[in-house]
Amino acid sequence: MTEPRQKSIGITPREKDELTKAKKLYEQRTGEKTDWGRFLGLISALGLAALGIYKLTKASKANLIVECPECGMRFPIAHTGDLGSITHITCPECSEEVVVNLSD
């Protein structure tokens, strides 16, 4: 069996600096430590939400119930470990991709 080869994406040192700055800002604002994988996942989910490709909704950390902006189904957010201030889920009912902004 052959392992799929991991592809790296070439970015310039300047682009890397920009991303590092953004990651630091995110960690300062949210008080959350993120690794690169999680951070890049978050910003791409947020970016797709900003473009209107993913739906954006809100939920409270005290009551982790999300209402799907597409079909209106209410369901709990399943999560493991630390929950950041933004999370990306898929509606179990209609499979809509939803970005959830969590407030305390």
- Contact residues toward Zn ion (CB under 5 A) are 68, 70-71, 73, 91, 93-94, 96
Instruction: Kindly tell me which of 32 and 97 has the beta carbon lying closer to Zn ion.
Output: 97
Under DSSP, is residue 86 helix (H, G, I), strand (E, B) or coil? strand
Minimum Å distance from CB 40 to Zn ion? Answer: 26
Minimum Å distance from CB 98 to Zn ion? Answer: 8
Rg (CA), the chain: 16
| Angle at the Cα of 89 from the Cα atoms of 80 and 43, rounded to 5 degrees | 95
Minimum Å distance from CB 84 to Zn ion? Answer: 22
Instruction: Kindly tell me which of 40 and 48 has the beta carbon lying closer to Zn ion.
Output: 48
Instruction: Kindly tell me which of 32 and 70 has the beta carbon lying closer to Zn ion.
Output: 70
Helices marked H in the chain: 13-30, 36-50
Instruction: Kindly tell me which of 33 and 92 has the beta carbon lying closer to Zn ion.
Output: 92
Partners of 87 in the β-ladder: 100
**Greatest extent of the chain over all pairs of C-alpha atoms, in Å:** 47
